[in-house]
């Protein structure tokens, strides 16, 4: 059911989206836009969202007692366990439905939102468990590439060369040394799942993936590139532009994996060098001042190039061959 | 109606699993750990055979077990799990959250020593590390009590003046794997007693969307905690009511403590769990020999029955407390609690602290006897922590 | 909201009023204010789609203006507008005005 933006605007002129005004996220933050997109599509498709959050920017800024910026049922438990918590909620639904305690015709969408901290690192175990057990939960990762709520500490999602407080660019070390963990591959390795990347600058692609994920008969995962205007040191109004640049430089390729079948959903005609992505953000400024900056950026360029080639090859190799 | 279904010889694990079967919670999320494992295994068989309609989540760790239950209970389901030792330690973070969210989760804990070194046998270090968590904590002396208290705990947890999760403690291996006679009640009676769960602001009620688990700044956290204090106080009023109902339905009487030959006892021994059986045996022996001794068994450790202890122990000659756990750098947990409760009584008894049974070290009648003999001879030093069965 | 005692709030930390955050007017954060040049606007609704604070006022997919109670002045609307129909001006120019 492809939907266009004007239709959505008409639908949600008066209807509650599920997240409200009054939250305390930074001006220009990518996270509330991510939530808006997901909840609008869920509601548009006739689902009633039940939302779970991991501790982080989104959670803390939307639920300062006694204020809540949520108008859908919401639960936050701890940092590392949103996947386990939503496994419990979804199971409770199935148990109560079997006992006849859920009204007929109710279609819930169980949606977890977590940052990269609560997903790549401390939350990985719970996520893996949820995927393995096959709970019908959509897990949305808003990836701002660091523990941003606590002031920019590095995570497994932080790109190499980025300046964070726990892996700063100093006289000796060039910021984060390790590559960014490939979370979508980790999720896809659970095989009987739907996993995809998405960006805010491609709303129709985003919406299509949310729909696919919600209708998927099993666990689904959406990795959204979610700029942090504060700690990536970009202007507040750059959120959508940086997202676009990420896709064009192959830094954030747009693809999906459905039961092992790879599909690249956006193939830009013209690519740009990843150096443009790096130069556009203040979090790489210190890196660029170093003598080895060129090498590090070159390494990153090779990585994104090879990863792109690999994706295209996987698309070819797995075409029409789902694992189940 | 017949109160008893049948008398069987079963292990504590099977008894607890049978109670869970009869309660038939909506969701069970459990991770195996010795010696709790048979509970999960028995229950999994009930689920696999369709004997219960419970949805069982085979979580990937205890931390996720309690996390899933928080989600399930907040959604409006009746939720249970079971664990031991390091499993309990691993879910520690979420144990506090479950109590703070006032979720009526019932969890049998098969008491086992906390590592390290690794030890799979009975002691109370696991539950003592959760003293401050805000959970109600009950202790079973026998498999019968483990069965009974698991059923009773559901009503206690879900009472609207309480709404706190409950740990039902049973000694690892001694009770969990030891075979004892247990009288089982008919399914209909158990179901009648536990009734239907009354969810509080369930997540699945999309007509009334609520937010569970906000962030509290310094302007509200204190008030939320004060509410938990009130709930614990309410337990002291609610528990006797529920225990009375339990007695009327099933014929067994529970209370904050059990008084064993206490009336004219000069010397009282206090302990938690299965060791009370050995203590009662020695009390009987010593009574035969003419000594006025008795046992005070604590069923409810949290909330701590301070007033009951003050009333029963005022004026006694001696009180000896046996702890199956240590608190390094301070007095043993049960001893400390008893001592501080007795601070205000008019006629304070002489007190003695004995630590025993750590890591499954066997406690024998001669050990109990030695502690009583110290008491009878007045050979007690309140500040001295003594050990039973330790090779010095 | 005046601070409540422990007896006056629901137990368990639950917030029972959905969307109570609306009582917190984030518009006070603003340093730049969006101004609409309606003659350039094509009602594409991109500004509405992207506003992180749902501060775009539209009726039946027709752009009407801004909800200055909540607009934080991030400027995303101006940036994504394909027709440059939104201009960001310093908030100081509007001191003393409504909103």
Across the interface, whether the CB atoms of C79 and A66 are under 8 A apart is answered no
- Minimum Cα–Cα distance from A236: chain C residue: C74
Residues 11-40 of A with CB under 8 A from C: 13, 16-17, 19-25, 27-33, 36
Domain ranges of chain C: 38-99
pLDDT string in tens for chain A (324-residue length)? 578 999 999 999 999 999 999 999 999 999 999 999 999 999 999 999 999 999 999 999 999 999 999 999 999 999 999 999 999 999 999 999 999 999 999 999 999 999 999 999 999 999 999 999 999 999 999 999 999 999 999 999 999 999 999 999 999 999 999 999 999 999 999 999 999 999 999 999 999 999 999 999 999 999 999 999 999 999 999 999 999 999 999 999 999 999 999 999 999 999 999 999 999 999 999 999 999 999 999 999 999 999 999 999 999 999 999 998
Domain ranges of chain B: 6-250, 257-388
Q: Which CATH number is associated with domain C38-99?
A: 3.30.70.20
What is the pLDDT at residue B1? 47
**Fold category of B257-388 in CATH:** Rossmann fold (3.40.50)
- Nearest Cα of chain A lies from the Cα of C96 at a distance, in angstroms, of 22
CB A71 within 8 A of CB C18: yes
Place of tokens 């249970």: B80
Query: Is residue A69 within 8 angstroms of chain C, CB to CB?
Result: yes
- Nearest Cα of chain C lies from the Cα of B213 at a distance, in angstroms, of 6
CB B319 within 8 A of CB B295: no
Query: Is residue A24 within 8 angstroms of chain B, CB to CB?
Result: no
Q: Which CATH number is associated with domain B6-250?
A: 3.40.50.970
Query: Would you say domain A5-318 falls under CATH 3.40.50.970?
Result: yes
Enter the ipTM. 0.96
Domain ranges of chain A: 5-318
Query: Is residue A106 within 8 angstroms of chain B, CB to CB?
Result: yes
What would the pLDDT profile of C38-62 be if each residue is shown by its tens digit? 999 999 999 999 999 999 999 999 9
Q: Which residues of B touch C5 (CB under 8 A)?
A: 223
What is the pLDDT at residue C7? 97
Q: Which residues of C touch A19 (CB under 8 A)?
A: 54
The confidence band for C98, taking pLDDT boundaries of 50, 70 and 90, is low
Residue B50's contacts (CB-CB under 8 Å, 6 or more residues apart) are none
Chains touching A (3+ CB pairs < 8 Å): B, C
HSE toward the beta carbon, residue B353, CA cutoff 13 A: 20
Chains touching B (3+ CB pairs < 8 Å): A, C
Q: Which segments of chain B have a pLDDT < 70?
A: 1-4
- A292-301, C27-36, C90-99: least confident range: C90-99
- Nearest Cα of chain C lies from the Cα of A29 at a distance, in angstroms, of 7
Mutant choice from A51, A58, A77, A109 vs B, greatest count of B C-beta within 10 A: A77
CB B358 within 8 A of CB B125: yes
Across the interface, whether the CB atoms of B213 and C13 are under 8 A apart is answered yes
What is the pLDDT at residue A75? 98
Residue B94 to residues A298, B20, B130, B376, C13, Cα–Cα distance (Å): 45, 22, 11, 45, 15
CA distance linking residue B296 with residue B269, whole number of Å: 6
Q: Which residues of A touch B206 (CB under 8 A)?
A: 48, 50, 72-73, 106, 108
């Amino acid at each position: 059911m492809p939907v266009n933006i004007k239709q959505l605007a008409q639908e949600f002129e008066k209807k509650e989206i599920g997240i409200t005004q009054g939250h305390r996220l930074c001006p220009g933050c990518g996270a509330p836009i991510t939530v808006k997109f997901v909840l609008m599509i869920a509601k548009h498709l006739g689902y009633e969202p039940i939302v779970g959050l991991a501790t982080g920017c989104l959670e803390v800024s939307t639920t300062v007692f006694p204020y809540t910026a949520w108008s859908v049922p919401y639960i936050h438990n701890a940092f590392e366990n949103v996947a386990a918590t939503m496994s419990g909620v979804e199971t409770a639904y199935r148990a109560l439905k079997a006992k006849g305690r859920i009204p007929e015709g109710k279609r819930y969408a169980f949606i977890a939102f977590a940052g990269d901290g609560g997903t790549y690192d401390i939350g990985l175990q719970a996520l893996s468990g949820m995927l393995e057990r096959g709970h019908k939960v959509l897990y949305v990762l808003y990836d701002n590439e660091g523990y941003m709520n606590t002031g920019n500490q590095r995570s497994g999602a932080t790109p190499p060369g980025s300046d964070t407080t726990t892996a700063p660019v100093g006289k000796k070390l060039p910021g984060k040394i390790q590559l960014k963990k490939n979370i979508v591959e980790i999720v896809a390795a659970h095989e009987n799942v739907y996993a995809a990347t998405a960006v805010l600058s491609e709303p129709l692609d985003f919406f299509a993936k949310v729909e696919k994920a919600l209708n998927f008969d099993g666990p689904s995962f959406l990795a959204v590139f979610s700029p942090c205007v504060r700690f990536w040191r970009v202007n507040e109004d750059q959120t959508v532009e940086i997202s676009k640049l990420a896709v064009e430089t192959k830094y954030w390729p747009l693809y999906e994996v459905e039961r092992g079948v790879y599909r690249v959903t956006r193939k830009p005609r013209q690519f740009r060098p990843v150096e443009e992505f790096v130069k556009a953000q203040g979090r790489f400024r210190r890196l660029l001042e170093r003598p080895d900056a060129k090498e590090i950026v070159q390494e990153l360029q090779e990585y994104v190039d090879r990863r792109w080639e690999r994706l295209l090859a996987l698309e070819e190799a797995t075409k029409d061959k789902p694992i189940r | 109606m017949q109160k008893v279904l049948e008398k069987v010889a079963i292990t504590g694990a099977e008894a607890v699993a049978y109670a869970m079967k009869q309660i038939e919670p909506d969701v069970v999320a459990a991770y195996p750990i010795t010696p709790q494992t048979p509970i999960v295994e028995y229950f999994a068989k009930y689920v696999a055979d369709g004997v219960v309609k419970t949805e069982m989540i085979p979580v990937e760790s205890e931390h996720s077990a309690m996390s899933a239950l928080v989600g399930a209970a907040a959604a409006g389901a009746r939720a249970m799990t079971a664990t031991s030792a390091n499993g309990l330690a691993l879910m520690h973070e979420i144990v506090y959250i479950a109590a703070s969210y006032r979720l009526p989760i019932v969890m049998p804990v098969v008491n086992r020593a906390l590592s390290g070194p690794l030890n799979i046998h009975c002691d109370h270090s696991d539950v003592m590390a959760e003293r401050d968590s805000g959970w109600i904590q009950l202790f079973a002396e026998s498999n019968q009590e483990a069965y009974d208290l698991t059923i009773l705990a559901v009503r206690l947890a879900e009472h609207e003046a309480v709404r706190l999760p409950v740990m039902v403690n049973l000694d690892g291996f001694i009770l969990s794997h030891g075979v004892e006679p247990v009288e089982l009640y008919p399914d209909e009676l158990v179901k009648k007693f536990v009734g239907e769960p009354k969810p509080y602001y369930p997540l699945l009620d999309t007509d009334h969307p609520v937010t569970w688990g906000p962030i509290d700044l310094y302007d509200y956290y204190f008030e939320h905690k004060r509410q938990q204090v009130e709930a614990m106080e309410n337990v002291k009023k609610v528990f006797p009511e529920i225990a009375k109902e339990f007695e009327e339905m099933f014929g067994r009487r529970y209370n904050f403590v059990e008084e064993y030959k206490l009336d004219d006892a000069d010397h009282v021994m206090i302990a938690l769990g299965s060791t009370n059986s050995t203590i009662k045996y020695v009390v009987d022996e010593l009574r035969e020999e003419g000594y006025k001794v008795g046992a005070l068994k604590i069923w409810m450790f949290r909330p701590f029955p301070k007033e009951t202890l003050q009333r029963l122990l005022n004026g006694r000659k001696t009180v000896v407390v046996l702890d199956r756990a240590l608190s390094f750098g301070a007095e043993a947990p049960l001893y400390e609690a008893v001592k501080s409760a007795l601070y205000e009584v008019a006629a304070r008894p002489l007190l003695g602290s004995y630590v025993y049974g750590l890591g499954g070290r066997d406690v024998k009648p001669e050990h109990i006897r030695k502690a009583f003999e110290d008491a009878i001879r007045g050979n007690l030093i309140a500040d001295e922590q003594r050990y039973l069965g330790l090779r010095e | 909201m005046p601070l409540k005692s422990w007896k006056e709030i629901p137990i368990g930390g639950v917030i029972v009023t959905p969307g109570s955050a609306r009582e917190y007017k984030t518009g006070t954060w603003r340093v730049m204010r969006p101004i609409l040049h309606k003659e350039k606007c094509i009602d594409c609704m991109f500004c509405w789609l992207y506003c992180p604070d749902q501060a775009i006022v539209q009726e039946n997919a027709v752009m009407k203006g801004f909800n200055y109670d909540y607009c934080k002045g991030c400027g995303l609307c101006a940036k994504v507008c394909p027709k440059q129909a939104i201009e960001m001006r310093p908030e100081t120019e509007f001191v003393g005005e409504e909103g």
